[in-house]
């Protein structure tokens, strides 16, 4: 499609539309609603009895705080990926907080190895963390998917990956507030690992979940214009 044809198709007989809010504002809105949901789930499951002592632990606070921030910034990145004019770096900003989250888990693993040795670490298995995180993240994922579709998803794989990361990181952080499992290797493999796995799998379905009929024509038009 030529540039003139594209412009004509986008402008003729189009009703006025309301511009989308800034990606950060949309992310805050999604995070507030989703946080209320996971808070209700945690309330039903029950807070871990040692929650006050754990929050006072800098490593635990860093881990959970980084997980929540990963969720929020990943959501902002997903919304930015749906806005073609936004800077590319916004899509990868969540990686910083994800690294902090992983770093806190690595420190915990080092502490556990020093205290219990490798034999004590390898005795924990929490395979049900994967289905729990998946189930907890579904409502938040549906919400962010419906919001992302209102943009221009020209980068579907990145957008869906960030949306999945936002939803699963939020669920994993909430699970830490309820589930009393502090073996760092177990948390790293079964909780953080579940987030990585689900994010990777979801991103593969980017084009299916964000099917946009004008995307390929728009990209081709931009490439032709640059030539």
Going from the first residue of the chain to its last (227 residues), give the mean pLDDT of each consecutive group of 10, the final group possibly shorter.
59 64 93 96 91 91 96 95 84 94 89 67 67 93 91 82 96 90 79 92 85 55 53
Residue 36 lies in a domain: no
Residue 202 lies in a domain: yes
pLDDT, position 142: 95
- Produce one character per residue of 140-174: b if its CB has 16 or more CB atoms within 10 Å, e if not: bbebbbebbeebbbbbbbbbbbbbbbbbbbbbbbb
pLDDT, position 101: 95
Residue 71 lies in a domain: yes
pLDDT, position 1: 46
Residue 103 lies in a domain: yes
The total of structural domains in the chain comes to: 1
**Structural domain harbouring 114:** 50-226
pLDDT, position 188: 85
Residue 143 lies in a domain: yes
SS (H, E, C) the chain: CCHHHHHHHHHCCCCCCCCCCCHHHHHHHHHHHHHHHHHHHHHHHCCCCCHHHHHCCHHHHHHHHHHHHHHHHHHHHHHHHCCCCCCHHHHHCHHHHHHHHHHHHHHHHHHHHHHHHHHHHCCCCCCCHHHHHHHHHHHHHHHHHHHHCCCCCCCHHHHHHHHHHHHHHHHHHHHHHHCCCCCHHHHHHHHHHHHHHHHHHHHCCHHHHCCCCCHHHHHHHHHHHHC
pLDDT, position 62: 95
Residue 162 lies in a domain: yes
Residue 121 lies in a domain: yes
- What predicted TM-score, i.e. pTM, was given to this entire model? 0.81
Residue 3 lies in a domain: no
Q: Which two three-digit tokens encode residue 224?
A: 């032709």
Cα 179 to chain centroid distance, Å, stands at 20
């Amino acid at each position: 499609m030529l540039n003139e044809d594209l412009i004509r198709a986008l402008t003729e007989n189009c009703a006025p539309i309301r511009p989308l809010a800034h990606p950060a504002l949309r992310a805050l809105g999604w995070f507030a609603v989703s946080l209320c949901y996971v808070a209700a789930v945690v309330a039903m499951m029950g807070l871990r009895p040692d929650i006050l002592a754990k929050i006072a632990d800098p490593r635990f606070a860093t881990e959970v705080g980084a997980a929540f921030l990963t969720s929020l910034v990943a959501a902002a990145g997903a919304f930015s990926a749906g806005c073609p004019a936004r800077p590319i770096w916004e899509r990868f900003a969540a990686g910083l907080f994800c690294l902090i989250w992983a770093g806190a888990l690595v420190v915990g693993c080092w502490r556990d190895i020093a205290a219990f040795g490798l034999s004590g670490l390898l005795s924990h298995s929490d395979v049900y963390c994967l289905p729990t995180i998946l189930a907890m993240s579904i409502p938040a994922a549906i919400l962010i998917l419906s919001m992302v579709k209102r943009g221009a998803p020209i980068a579907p794989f990145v957008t869906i990956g960030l949306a999945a990361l936002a939803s699963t990181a939020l669920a994993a952080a909430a699970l830490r507030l309820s589930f009393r499992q502090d073996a760092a290797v177990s948390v790293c493999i079964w909780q953080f690992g579940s987030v990585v796995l689900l994010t990777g799998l979801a991103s593969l379905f980017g084009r299916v979940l964000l099917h946009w009929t004008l995307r390929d024509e728009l990209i081709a038009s931009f490439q032709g214009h640059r030539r």
